[in-house]
Amino acid sequence: MKTTALSAAIALALTLPVAGTALAASSKAAATTAAPAATEDEIRAVRAQLEALSERLRRLEQSNQQLEQQNAALKAENAKIAAQEQETQKSTEAQADTLAKAATKANGAEWASRIKVNGDLRYRDEQIQRDLRADQTRDRIRARIGFTAKANDTLSVGARLTTGADDPRSPNQTIGAADTGDARRTIGLDQYFAVWTPVEGLAVTGGKMPYPFFRPGLSAFNDPDINPEGVAVGYQQGLFFGNAFGFWLTERAASNHNPATGVTSSLAADRQGTVYAGLQLGVKAPLGTDTSLTAALLYTSLGAGKGRIPYWFAGGAIPTSTTYTDTTTCQPAPNPEPPGYVPVCTTTTVATTANNITAITQAANGNSVNADGSLKYDYHVTQASLEFNTKLGILPLQVFADYAKNSGASDQNKAYTGGFLIGKAAEKYSWEFGYVYEKLEKDAYYGGFVDSDFGAGFTDSSGSTFRFAYAPAKNWTLNVTYLLNKLNVSGLSNVAVQSSTLNMPGETYKRLDLDFSVKY
């Protein structure tokens, strides 16, 4: 504003020269006594200076306007940059939040990837025929669900739940058994274990676990439903492998089982933990692309077994039976007796409870027992196993053999089995067929571990098993299993199966199982 006013004043001054000249002429005489008048050149010089000053002011004003425009542009650019920075900050925060959420999901997915769930459901129609019993038909179910989880690089854990009561050899539940009708089915902890692998090839397992040793093919020496409880160590290096284990069964005191005296000892020396321990060495040799041969030698020992009764009873209690005796006592009659005298008598009932030897003997599953039902022999079993796997065209073929001898008994101490399995019912429309022959002498194997289906779950049995399975879809199979066995092959068994009737020598046992099975 000041610059503009000054410019106007200078311009006004520049317009005054002519009027100044006239004024100067009229007052020339008066001015003779004053200072000399300015010359024409001096006026031109002043005028030029004023014009130069005016031009400079104009340029300054123009420059100022340009600076103001640049300042406004800079302010707008700064505002734009600030807005961009704010938007960038929001975007960065959003990306950080997205990355945090993604990391959380990734961590959850990583943990979930370390857990594997598995299970199966089986519905069975079962038909049994025996010489000494009426035919039996029943429907049974088995449902199992389990998981394994990797805790870290060297430690994993597993657990499984299954139907069934406390029978270690059977997770089956009979539909409608004992008037249970629509009742809920019993669920039990079937497995729980931890596996530690400190170095490659070495695994230490503790808990209630699947069998930690090699078993060939369809051998029925060991029931597949048993999950022993204890500690096992397995090692594999190249072609060779080895397994060592110790399973805890129970604690028994021999004097606890005397039905005549009912003596119960609390002496530590008389109570011993019964352990089933073993060692296995083997080799698995590849013989071609699809062919291999596995051979293994296993030694097992039942410690503190001889002289003690079996180790599992339904309900967890040793079976007992009670007998009742009536005793009548009469007061002495007077002498002489008066006419019409009636004796005064009192009857007392005495109950006597003792071990039920018949039930205890049956729980031995065919093994020889003493008069009190306790095991007659030790079980120190040496077992040799072979399994050959190859392909017959496009079908897998497995041939196996198993032989065992118990050095703890002098007679009836050998067992052998052999058979084959062709095909594999797994993928859609696949199938398999298998056959097994087995002979299990009375004291060849500890009866608590033998298969509960073959020979009605008893030793001293022999016969065949036929098996066929078809998969109409993946993980879904329809199975047919037929057992044609003989019981009490030696004629020495004394297991009561109906009232006081004993198994007849060579009793026929026929069993047909029709299974609908789904795995996941």
pLDDT tens track for 111-141: 778 899 999 999 999 999 998 788 999 999 9
Q: What is the pLDDT of residue 342?
A: 87
Take residue 484 and report the two structure tokens written for it: 């044609």
What is the pLDDT, as a whole number, of residue 189? 93
- What pLDDT score does 494 carry? 55
Bond preceding residue 336 cis, omega within 30 of 0:
yes
At 31 the pLDDT is: 44
What are the pLDDT digits (tens) for 9-66? 545 444 444 444 443 444 444 444 445 566 888 888 888 888 888 888 888 888 888 8
Of 342-351, 406-415, 501-510, minimum mean pLDDT range: 501-510
- Residues whose CB is less than 8 angstroms from the CB of residue 445 and which lie 6 or more positions away in sequence, other chains included: 221, 379, 381, 404, 406, 415, 459
Q: What is the CA radius of gyration of the chain?
A: 52
pLDDT at residue 385, as a whole number: 98
Torsion over CA: 208, 212, 217, 219 (sign): negative
Give the model's confidence band at 250: pLDDT under 50 very low, under 70 low, under 90 confident, else very high: confident
Answer whether 243's CB lies under 8 Å from 213's CB: yes
Q: What percent of the chain has pLDDT over 70?
A: 84
Architecture field, domain 118-264+274-321+357-519: Beta Barrel (2.40)
pLDDT at 499 over 70: no
- Model pLDDT, residue 321: 87
Phi, psi of 392, rounded to the nearest 5 degrees: -110, 95
DSSP 3-state of 79: helix
100-104, 205-209, 295-299, 326-330: the lowest-pLDDT one: 100-104
Q: Which is more confidently placed, 482 or 12?
A: 482
Q: Which amino acid is at 497?
A: V
Burial group, residue 16, by CB count within 10 angstroms (0-12, 13-18, 19+) = exposed
Quick check: helix, strand or coil at residue 403? strand
Using one digit for the tens of pLDDT, what is the confidence trace for 102-117? 766 666 667 778 899 9
Number of H helices, E strands in the chain: 5, 21
In the prediction, which pLDDT does 37 show? Answer: 65
Closest CA to 159 of 250, 108, 232, 227: 227
What share of the chain has pLDDT > 90, as a percent? 51
Q: Contact at 8 Å (CB) between 487 and 460?
A: yes
Please state whether beta strands 115-130 and 507-519 pair in parallel, antiparallel, or not at all (unpaired): antiparallel
Distance CA 427, CA 395 (A): 13
Kindly state the DSSP code that residue 315 receives in the 8-state scheme: G
For residue 211, which of 181, 186, 234 has the smallest C-alpha distance?
A: 234
- CA atoms of 469 and 422, how far apart (whole Å): 11
- Please tell me which residue, 274 or 184, carries the higher pLDDT value: 274
